[in-house]
Structures are given as structure tokens and as C-alpha cells.
Amino acid sequence: MFGLGLPEILIILVIILLLFGAKRLPEIGEGLGKTIRELRKIKEEKKPEKEKEGDNQKGGLISDLKKEAEDIPGLKEARDIKETADKVKNITKLLR
């Protein structure tokens, strides 16, 4: 925890006690607890977004594009035509 040992933490707590008094410490602790909970909640909400971004960077984007491309009308026919053209091209190379 930030390289603080038990003696340092105790000194900080004593200084806080002297500055704010014993009556305000529960209020400060409650506020600190709420702040930490909110930060954890925000961190958990951001975590799935980062995982999604990581998936997109690791090939998820490519697979998403392929799925969308399959839905394009006439794409299958165009692929078939291209494959046939490649076959014809290969045959003509062999005949030369």
C-alpha cells in the first residue's frame, strides 16, 4: 500500500484524529467508504468495455466484419465468379 508500513499509517491516523476530532471521524470514514465503492463500481463498468476493445483488436473486429460481409446481397455470387476467374487464369497460365 504505497510503501507505507504500520508506523506510518498510525502516525497519519493520529494526525487525522487531531485535525478533525473524534466526532467527525465516522463521517469522514463513511464518505471515504462511499468514494471507494463508487470508484470500484466505475472500474467494473469500464472493465467490460476494455475487454470488448481487446477482442476487437485481437481479431474480433475482423470476424465481425466477415459476418457483416456475408450479409451483403450478391457477395456469394461474386466470390463464385472470382473463384471461376482464378481457375480460368490458372488454366491459361498452364497452356502458355
Cβ neighbours around 63 below 10 Å, total: 12
In angstroms, how far is CA 40 from the centroid of its own chain? 15
Q: Is 1 within a domain? A: no
Q: Is 44 within a domain? A: yes
Q: Is 54 within a domain? A: yes
pLDDT of residue 57: 54
Q: Would you say 56 and 64 are in contact if contact means Cβ atoms under 8 Å apart? A: yes
Question: What's this model's pTM, rounded to 2 decimal places?
Answer: 0.39
- Note down the domain range covering 84: 7-95
Q: Is 2 within a domain? A: no
Q: Is 78 within a domain? A: yes
Q: Is 61 within a domain? A: yes
Domain count, the chain: 1
pLDDT tens by residue, the chain, 96 residues: 467 888 888 898 888 888 888 888 888 888 888 988 998 888 888 777 656 555 545 567 777 777 777 777 777 788 888 888 888 888 888 877
Q: Say which residue the cell 508500513 belongs to.
A: 5
pLDDT of residue 28: 84
pLDDT of residue 23: 86
Rounded Cα gap, residues 16 and 23, in angstroms? 12
- Identify the CA nearest to 14 among candidates 27, 6, 35: 6
